[in-house]
Amino acid sequence: MFSEWSAGDWIILIVDIIALYIIVRFLSWKVKHKLEEVEQRQKFETRQRKLDRTNLPLAAEDE
């Protein structure tokens, strides 16, 4: 099967393999950065809730 392939077929195969590698690397980078963004957002929300809980009793005492 492979012995019947021309040079053009081999070049197409190599280009396809390189393209797949680039796509996989890009998608893994994209997912990694998206997960980091979600983690930062969760940390921020947790800090905000914690600050809101600590500030809530102070506001109730002022009334």
Tokens of 12: 């197409």
Q: Model pTM?
A: 0.63
Reported in sequence order, the residue ranges of 1-63 that DSSP labels E, i.e. its strands, are none
CB environment 31-57: b (16+ within 10 A), e (fewer): eeeeeeeeeeeeeeeeeeeeeeeeeee
CA angle 46, 48, 44 (to 5 degrees): 55
pLDDT tens figures, 8-61: 999 999 999 999 999 999 999 999 999 999 999 999 999 999 988 888 765 555
Cα angle 32-21-36, degrees, rounded to a multiple of 5: 5
DSSP 8-class letter at 2:
G
